[in-house]
Amino acid sequence: MMRLVCVCVCVCALCCLCAHIQNQQRGTKVFGIIGNPVSHSRSPLIHNTAFQHIGFDGVYVPLLVDDLARFLEAFKSHTDFQGFSVTIPHKVRLGTCFPV
Protein backbone atom coordinates (compact mmCIF):
# COMPACT_ATOMS: atom_id res chain seq x y z
CA MET A 1 0.00 0.00 0.00
CA MET A 2 2.82 2.42 0.88
CA ARG A 3 4.47 1.95 -2.51
CA LEU A 4 1.16 2.75 -4.28
CA VAL A 5 0.76 5.94 -2.23
CA CYS A 6 4.31 7.04 -3.11
CA VAL A 7 3.69 6.40 -6.81
CA CYS A 8 0.45 8.41 -6.67
CA VAL A 9 2.18 11.32 -4.94
CA CYS A 10 4.95 11.31 -7.57
CA VAL A 11 2.45 11.23 -10.44
CA CYS A 12 0.41 14.05 -8.87
CA ALA A 13 3.58 16.10 -8.36
CA LEU A 14 4.56 15.56 -11.98
CA CYS A 15 1.09 16.58 -13.21
CA CYS A 16 1.14 19.69 -11.02
CA LEU A 17 4.63 20.58 -12.26
CA CYS A 18 3.63 20.06 -15.91
CA ALA A 19 0.60 22.32 -15.50
CA HIS A 20 2.75 25.08 -14.04
CA ILE A 21 5.43 24.76 -16.73
CA GLN A 22 2.81 25.01 -19.47
CA ASN A 23 1.36 28.18 -17.92
CA GLN A 24 4.62 30.10 -17.69
CA GLN A 25 4.77 33.62 -18.99
CA ARG A 26 7.55 36.15 -19.36
CA GLY A 27 7.11 37.29 -15.75
CA THR A 28 6.88 33.84 -14.17
CA LYS A 29 9.23 33.51 -11.19
CA VAL A 30 11.32 30.33 -11.18
CA PHE A 31 12.32 28.55 -7.98
CA GLY A 32 13.81 25.11 -7.49
CA ILE A 33 15.27 22.45 -5.28
CA ILE A 34 18.83 21.37 -6.00
CA GLY A 35 20.19 18.00 -4.96
CA ASN A 36 21.20 14.54 -6.07
CA PRO A 37 18.95 12.63 -5.93
CA VAL A 38 16.06 15.05 -6.15
CA SER A 39 13.28 13.11 -7.88
CA HIS A 40 11.89 11.92 -4.52
CA SER A 41 11.34 15.46 -3.23
CA ARG A 42 7.81 16.61 -2.52
CA SER A 43 8.89 20.24 -2.57
CA PRO A 44 7.65 20.89 -6.15
CA LEU A 45 4.22 19.50 -5.26
CA ILE A 46 4.01 21.54 -2.06
CA HIS A 47 5.28 24.81 -3.54
CA ASN A 48 3.42 24.64 -6.86
CA THR A 49 0.18 23.83 -5.07
CA ALA A 50 0.71 26.82 -2.77
CA PHE A 51 1.62 29.10 -5.71
CA GLN A 52 -1.55 28.07 -7.52
CA HIS A 53 -3.69 28.47 -4.40
CA ILE A 54 -2.59 32.08 -3.81
CA GLY A 55 -2.50 32.99 -7.51
CA PHE A 56 1.28 33.53 -7.55
CA ASP A 57 2.92 33.45 -11.00
CA GLY A 58 5.73 31.09 -10.12
CA VAL A 59 7.00 27.59 -10.75
CA TYR A 60 9.10 25.38 -8.48
CA VAL A 61 11.17 22.73 -10.26
CA PRO A 62 13.47 19.87 -9.23
CA LEU A 63 17.06 20.39 -10.39
CA LEU A 64 19.42 17.40 -10.44
CA VAL A 65 22.82 18.91 -9.59
CA ASP A 66 26.01 16.86 -9.42
CA ASP A 67 28.55 19.65 -9.02
CA LEU A 68 27.33 22.39 -6.66
CA ALA A 69 30.19 24.80 -7.36
CA ARG A 70 29.68 24.64 -11.13
CA PHE A 71 25.92 25.04 -10.73
CA LEU A 72 26.26 28.11 -8.51
CA GLU A 73 28.83 29.66 -10.84
CA ALA A 74 26.64 29.06 -13.90
CA PHE A 75 23.51 30.57 -12.35
CA LYS A 76 24.86 33.39 -10.18
CA SER A 77 24.32 36.02 -12.87
CA HIS A 78 20.96 34.72 -14.13
CA THR A 79 17.95 36.69 -13.01
CA ASP A 80 15.50 34.01 -14.19
CA PHE A 81 15.85 32.07 -10.94
CA GLN A 82 14.45 33.66 -7.81
CA GLY A 83 15.68 31.13 -5.29
CA PHE A 84 16.64 27.57 -4.50
CA SER A 85 16.08 25.09 -1.72
CA VAL A 86 18.97 22.72 -1.09
CA THR A 87 18.85 19.04 -0.18
CA ILE A 88 21.31 16.18 0.23
CA PRO A 89 24.19 15.99 -0.48
CA HIS A 90 24.64 19.72 -1.11
CA LYS A 91 22.97 20.95 2.07
CA VAL A 92 25.95 19.78 4.15
CA ARG A 93 28.52 21.29 1.79
CA LEU A 94 26.66 24.56 1.35
CA GLY A 95 26.84 25.17 5.09
CA THR A 96 30.63 25.41 4.82
CA CYS A 97 30.35 27.95 1.96
CA PHE A 98 28.16 30.33 3.95
CA PRO A 99 29.06 30.09 7.65
CA VAL A 100 26.59 31.60 10.10
User: Using one digit for the tens of pLDDT, what is the confidence trace for 51-84?
Assistant: 999 999 999 999 999 888 888 888 877 777 888 8
- Catalytic residue list: 91
Q: Which residue has the higher pLDDT, 98 or 80?
A: 80
25-29, 45-49, 50-54: segment of lowest average pLDDT: 25-29
Return the CATH fold of 2-97. Rossmann fold (3.40.50)
* DSSP notation for 5-68: HHHHHHHHHHHHHHHHHHT--TT-EEEEEEESS-TT--HHHHHHHHHHHHT--EEEEEEE-S-H
pLDDT digits (tens, 9 = 90+) for 29-43: 999 999 999 888 999
Cut 0.75: pTM above it: no
- Output the pLDDT for position 83: 87
